[in-house]
Amino acid sequence: MDPRIDRMSTPRTYRIAPSILSADFAKLGAEVRSVIDAGADWIHFDVMDNHYVPNLTFGPMVCEALRPHAVKADGSRVPIDVHLMVQPVDALAQAFAKAGADLISFHPDASTHVDRTLQLIKAAGCQAGLTFNPAMPIDVLEWVIDKVDLVLLMSVNPGFGGQSFIDSALRKCEKVRRLIESSGRDIRLEVDGGIKVDNIRRVADAGADTFVAGSAIFGQPDYKTVIEAMRAQLA
């Protein structure tokens, strides 16, 4: 059987999650509304503390401010997908849960007690995710796969938008897809960094179902055109 068909054994709904790291910070509310009107499924919210990564972005108060804007035209809630590039994790994770985050992912190398951090995110009513940098092994998943709702694979080194896709993320994606399939759990597999119209199909073929794109979307004059071009690649 065509391996790709095999990998697509459980038909997955694809999700496109624009990263607001590349949005116009002078009008973030309007940017969130327009990228949702353009067809975004999630809002990817990159939190950087200038400690775990050499950059500084925004905190729970900005998430709270954007929460009312993260809605579709029919009023339905658009998930805010918080990606914590911070150390330590726990207090900020709880603050983002209170600020209206729907999913909260953290880097396991940034938490002293990964299992406990996953538990506190879920206890706060959010879906919990683990995020792996390009050189990070995924072994920890074996011990917490029952607590994970999302795996976020970095295809760039975290800290900045507009970087080039690191191909080894494809191989890691295939491994994680197999792990998810064998777990029998409904876990989303998100890839983050350097995703464009011309490589998103390869990332999907490697097993991803959720795609972060910052500069590829916010760098374009028309968000709808580029999101539709991404969806056409995924069809």
Q: How far is the CB of 54 from Zn ion (least distance, A)?
A: 15
Other CB atoms closer than 10 Å to residue 59's CB: what's the count? 15
Which residues are paired to 190 by β-bridges? Answer: 152, 210
Residue 156's binding partner out of ligand DX5, Zn ion, none, with CB under 5 to 8 Å set by partner kind: ligand DX5
Q: Is 8 or 95 the residue whose CB approaches Zn ion more closely?
A: 95
Interface mask (CB under 5 A) for Zn ion, residues 71-110, using x and -? ------------x---------------------------
DSSP string, 127-189: EEEEEE-TT---TTHHHHTTT-SEEEEESS-TT-SSPPP-THHHHHHHHHHHHHHHHT---EE
State the number of CA atoms in the 13 A half-sphere of 180 facing the CB.
25
SS3 (DSSP) at 77: strand
Q: How far is the CB of 21 from ligand DX5 (least distance, A)?
A: 4
Q: Is 192 a catalytic residue?
A: yes
Residue 22's binding partner out of Zn ion, ligand DX5, none, with CB under 5 to 8 Å set by partner kind: ligand DX5
Q: How far is the CB of 181 from ligand DX5 (least distance, A)?
A: 25
Quick one: which of 192, 206, 208, 211 contacts Zn ion (CB under 5 A)? 192
